[in-house]
Structure 1
Amino acid sequence: MSKEVVAISQKLQTTSKRRMAMAKRLIYMNMGVYLLMSIGELLIGQFGHATVLIADGKNNLTGVLSSVLLLVGLHFSVIPRDDVHQEGHWQYETIAVFLAGIIMDLVGLNCLWSAGQSIIVIMNGQTASIRIITGYAAAISGTLMLVVSQINQLIGKRTNDSALIASARDSLSDAFTSYGTMIAIFLAYWFHIGWFDSLATLLLGVYIIINGNQIVSASAEKLSNGFNPSLQTQIRHYISQTPNVHHVDYVNGRYTGDNIIIETEIQIDNSLTTTASYQLCKRIEAGVQKQFPVLYCCIQIRPSTLDSDELK
């Protein structure tokens, strides 16, 4: 099959590749910060007998794994389209985000397991005093994660990149969990409440699972050809406003990565020639690709069923 069969928006392809390059640079930064913080928290957590800090370190370790997955996904997503993949390889980015969410869920379950083990140890009377340094480590981690989240959110919104937006959400949740970890450690240290550390670990595990499920749900919706009804309505309205379009029978949309593929059927003026009908379709396609992040627009036409009185 010829590569020209599918009329892909070249402008959107170029924009998407630039967006991917920007995302890669930020994800490398994320990976470095997460790696340093996770190693630091795991070591200090062991030294300071803070189960919740160890759980937070495991949570930040998922940031490293997620970053690796996103980098792999971004690498494959910019591969030029071929005879087999006429629409390109943009779905790799969504697959990477989906897998990153799965990893978050698994780490959340691990935190629940660790909390359960810690509670059993406390019930057996085998406890060790938390050291205050673990609280300071959690505070530093939370501040760094908050900065990383804001950077990712800013660039992700500007470029409409789901990988960066997911990374920003992940980093923000990590910042909150680190601050929550800090509070739990200080309370356990000041008031000598040994079980509070385990309770905080349990709550942290639940929070990680909730955030992981949100990421999995959003990416699974794209992978299963789900589409935003509000955006579908906007595109339908835009097409219906085009001169010589009498009615829009349907608009179906799906995602390939962060880009959109549209299939629509329209009723047009019966008097239009084949050439005029073709030019109308190209005008609609160009307009839709200009107004929305549409990679490809497939337009089917048929003669209008409305009579002349209804058109007046």
Structure 2
Amino acid sequence: MGDMYSDIKKGEQGAWISIGAYIILSLFKVISGYIGNSEALVADGFNNMTDIVASVAVLIGLRISQKPPDRDHPYGHFRAETIAALVASFIMATVGFQVLITAIQSFFKDERQTPALFGVWVALISAVLMFGVYWFNRRLATKINNKALMAAAQDNRSDALVSIGAAIGIAGSSFGLWWLDPLAACLVGLIILNTAWGIFKETTHALTDGFDTDHLNDLRNTVKNTKGVKAIKDIRGRVHGNHVLVDVIIQVDPQLSLIRGHEISDEIEQQMLKKHNVMHVHVHVEPYITEEVQPGGGI
């Protein structure tokens, strides 16, 4: 249990790095965008401002999830991570719509200003920095199996791609293709909305106890191949933060002793931990009976 909480503590490093990078980049882009007359760069900067709020939400979720189990939360507070990611998706979606609407309105302006070419370098430097943050967070999230941090990493990657799009738009506008800058801003809005939808879809699936069927089949095979298991009557899985909870009903030889049934249950728990890193398994043991004798001696 201690390892779980230490892993979550490590996840905070990624959240703090994201927050620091977003604060610097959002100010850098918004100021540069207004000075250089680039709508795409300003939109990218506001995108990063929402990412600050989203990263803070993830950080708060990671902090809450470290609270140990209590009377009201016997399984712990790990779902706080998922809820934080859900809140972050709503924040992203709100700003995504705002950026998209503003960009569309800019197509119909009577007066147009050509964005300064230095905005291209601002956007490209930002993209390189965000790819670095993405690489760090993705590696850490994979190492500690943290969905909230992985969602943050996906957002980092989207931001890097958004900055590249902004650079292309600014460059095109500087050479007379005025429509490329607002078009890039539109793409920024769409990428924000797409990222928000992906996070929303995944988090709501987890919060409603949805579970990947392929993963469940892998768990089923592990239980079925455990020595002493005659059949599996039922198996269910659900996600609790970045942890998996499994309930399984197995059937064993009715002649086995209670001690042997307990040993089989322990073996299932060990195999689930070893092969799938599942630490919470509830095993219910029932007798395996193929034929029932009816009254009067019939079958």
TM-score interval, normalised by the smaller of the two chains: over 0.9
- From 75, 99, 102, the counterpart of 1:111: 99
Residue 165 of structure 2 contacts residue 187 of structure 2 at CA under 8 Å; is this kept in 1?
no
**Displacement, 1:47?**
1.0
- What's the % identity of the aligned pairs? 28
Q: Which runs of 5+ in 2 are unaligned?
A: 292-299
What are the equivalent positions in structure 2 for 1:203-222 lying under 5 Å apart? 203-222=187-206
**Displacement, 1:101?**
1.7
What is aligned with 1:244?
228
Q: Does 1:233 align with 2:220?
A: no
What are the equivalent positions in structure 2 for 1:48-67 lying under 5 Å apart? 48-67=36-55
Q: Does 1:148 align with 2:133?
A: yes
Distance in 2, Cα, partners of 1:280 & 1:147: 47
SS, match of residue 108 in structure 2: helix
Distance in 2, Cα, partners of 1:244 & 1:302: 12
TM-score relative to the length of structure 1? 0.90
What is aligned with 1:305?
289
SS, match of residue 290 in structure 1: helix
For 2:85, give the aligned amino acid: V
Moved over 6 A (4+): none
Superposition CA RMSD, Å: 1.3
SS, match of residue 250 in structure 1: strand
For 1:198, give the aligned amino acid: P
- From 118, 121, 137, the counterpart of 1:133: 118
Distance in 2, Cα, partners of 1:17 & 1:272: 38
- From 54, 60, 73, the counterpart of 1:72: 60
**Displacement, 1:306?**
3.3
What is aligned with 1:161?
146
Distance in 2, Cα, partners of 1:15 & 1:249: 32
TM-score relative to the length of structure 2? 0.94
Residue 234 of structure 2 contacts residue 250 of structure 2 at CA under 8 Å; is this kept in 1?
yes
SS, match of residue 127 in structure 1: coil
SS, match of residue 253 in structure 1: strand
What is aligned with 1:184?
169
Distance in 1, Cα, partners of 2:270 & 2:74: 19
For 1:301, give the aligned amino acid: V
SS, match of residue 235 in structure 1: helix
Describe the superposition over 1:220-246 as per-residue Cα deviations: whole angstroms up to 9, x where unpaired.
111110111111111111111112110
Q: Which runs of 5+ in 1 are unaligned?
A: 1-12, 308-312
**Displacement, 1:91?**
0.1
